[in-house]
Amino acid sequence: MTLPQVGYIGLGIMGRPTALNLIKAGYSLHVYARRTESTQPLTDAGAVAYDSPKALAAVADIIFLNVSDTPDVEQVLLGKGGIAESARQGQIVIDMSTILPVQTRQMALRLAEKDITLLDAPVSGGEAGAIAGTLSIMVGGPQAAFERAKPLLDVLGKNIVHVGESGAGQVAKACNQIVVAGTIAAVAEAITFARRNDVDAAKVREALMGGFAGSKILEVHGKRMLDHDFKPGFKSRLHQKDMHIVLDTARQLGLSLPISSQTTQLINGLLGLGEGELDSSAIIKVIERMSQQ
Ligand code: NAP
């Protein structure tokens, strides 16, 4: 069986290791990035670099995107020099970026006019999951395209769920971020509470890990908070973007999400401190500042 030619656009914290895993699995990889620093680790591993998404799309059958935000996906797909300009019948685009569900559905319809299928396939599991190939992948889009994409997704993730039609993967990812952001804020409050009571916060985390308060967030982000090590990970400015996806969608639906609203204010405060490039566990800095810790 001939393997498909695979394209990859968006080679940052998440894209770089996932793209490398596809090369390790034997796929021929074609990459595009705005900066050569981003393509270098991939071309060193055997990928071929192109000077536009359009040029890459002329050779790739299945194309991954892992860029920052909704306008970036739109630009790469439908902008000048974008993928749609050299569309080929039967191509699949797998968008792993976290973006707005509504825009995803609109872009999927525009690409369908050119016989390209857009799957939304946002992920959870962070940089560590991307490196290990153990991501959770939440997929929206047609069943047939999902089945064609599945062997590649199996290389990148362990928990791969076809959630529903176009946009359903992005809805699932927004749900993920509601839980993640709220839990990060709760863990930050708990660690600050322990410290203000002159109790060893590391011991508190250790005790909590075995009970109902135990979670991946307490384990991973809690450790970052204890160490005050906020190297990303997941940049706060991207978490702010995700919370605005949640709140914008909720506003359109007339849906009240009080916890998510409050958590967003904490992330806004962190960006106000000029710390948008820090990992989102740095939310604890805002809690500490409010309490003069
Ligand atoms: P990142 O390190 O900032 O990387 C983003 C990459 O996208 C960069 O290499 C950037 O290229 C490229 N890019 C952005 N806009 C572009 C455009 N208009 N055209 C071409 N390339 C563009 O971000 P990341 O952490 O990998 O996150 C990527 C996506 O995954 C985001 O949607 C994020 O919310 C989501 N996500 C992240 C994590 C995590 O833990 N980091 C977890 C789950 C989901 P340049 O290098 O040229 O600027």
Exposure string of 112-147, with b = 16+ CB inside 10 Å and e = fewer, is eeeebbbbbbbbbbbbebbbebebbbbbbbbeebbe
Compute the distance between CA of residue 110 and CA of residue 106 in angstroms, rounded to an integer.
6
In this structure, the strands spanning 157-164 and 92-95 are: unpaired
Q: pLDDT, tens digit, for every residue of 2-19? A: 999 999 999 999 999 999
173 belongs to the catalytic site? yes
The pLDDT assigned to 293 comes to 67
pLDDT in tens, 117-172: 999 999 999 999 999 999 999 999 999 999 999 999 999 999 999 999 999 999 99
Ligand 1 and 240: CB distance under 6 A: no
- Quickly count: other Cβ atoms within 10 Å of residue 201's Cβ: 18
Residues 77-90 as b or e (16 or more Cβ within 10 Å = b): bbbeebbbbbbeee
Ligand 1, closest atom to CA 11? 9
| CA nearest to 79, candidates 9, 168, 170, 15 | 9
Q: Does the beta carbon of 86 lie inside 6 Å of ligand 1?
A: no
Distance (Å, rounded) from C-alpha 286 to C-alpha 269? 7
Query: Which ligand 1 atom sits nearest the alpha carbon of residue 96?
Result: 30
Q: In this structure, what is the dihedral angle of CA atoms 197, 202, 203, 205, given to the nearest 10 degrees?
A: 100
Tens of pLDDT, residues 49-100: 999 999 999 999 999 999 999 999 999 999 999 999 998 899 999 999 999 9
pLDDT for residue 1: 75
For ligand 1, atom 22, the nearest C-alpha belongs to 67
Residue 134: per-residue pLDDT: 98
Q: Is the CB of 80 under 6 A from ligand 1?
A: no
Q: How much is the pLDDT for 291? A: 87
Confidence at 292, pLDDT banded by 50, 70, 90: confident
pLDDT single digits (tens) 199-238: 999 999 999 999 999 999 999 999 999 999 999 999 999 9
What string of H, E and C letters represents the secondary structure of the chain? Answer: CCCCCEEEECCCCCHHHHHHHHHHCCCCEEEECCCHHHHHHHHHCCCEECCCHHHHHCCCCEEEECCCCHHHHHHHHHCCCCHHHHCCCCCEEEECCCCCHHHHHHHHHHHHCCCCEEEECCEECHHHHHHHCCEEEEEECCHHHHHHHHHHHHHHEEEEEEEECCCHHHHHHHHHHHHHHHHHHHHHHHHHHHHHCCCCHHHHHHHHHCCCCCCHHHHHHHHHHHHCCCCCCCEHHHHHHHHHHHHHHHHHHCCCCHHHHHHHHHHHHHHHCCCCCCEHHHHHHHHHHHCCC
pLDDT average, residue stretch 34-46:
97
CA–centroid distance, 66 to ligand 1, in Å, is: 6
Tokens of 235: 């940049």
> Ligand 1 centre and the CA of 9: distance in Å?
9
Closest CA to 101 of 160, 31, 173: 173
